[in-house]
Amino acid sequence: MIVSQDGTRRITAEELDERFDNGEELDEFFDTEHPRRIEPDSDAIFTVTLTKKINLDLPLDMVEQIDAQARRIGQPRQSLLRTWIWERLRREQELDLRLGVSPMTCRQSAAAPESATASAPVTPAQAM
């Protein structure tokens, strides 16, 4: 419910939207003399993640098993695979830390040959 500045009138958000769309005057519902800056909730700020499409050839029976698992837990195939890959990368990073192996940065991994075995650190946002 939205209350007018003098407290005498109340309208719903839908009514406010309709009045705005119709070009009606709405000043009575906004304090333009004493505006307040409202900071966004830090949890509501989204991070933009760059993605790159890759092609992955898998045997048909493996794809069928992945699809069955995805259906069982109610997730799309891509989300399931992304989660599995992310979990494996995290395990590899934890193993590297236990072994004292310095984790590679994303830039180092991009410059490394395809046969490199160390895992590049990845944030959850990067994995999605």
> What confidence tier does 70 reach under pLDDT thresholds 50, 70, 90?
very high
Split into its structural domains, the chain has a count of: 2
Which of 35, 58, 54, 127 lies closest to 88, judged by CA? 127
21, 34 Cβ separation under 8 angstroms:
no
Q: For the segment 17-57, what is each residue's pLDDT rounded down to a tens digit?
A: 999 999 998 888 888 888 888 777 777 677 778 889 999 99
Q: Is residue 79 part of a domain?
A: yes
Q: Is residue 92 part of a domain?
A: yes
What residue numbers bound the domain in which 8 lies? 2-38
> What confidence tier does 123 reach under pLDDT thresholds 50, 70, 90?
low
How many alpha carbons lie under 13 Å from residue 67 in its C-beta half-sphere?
Answer: 7
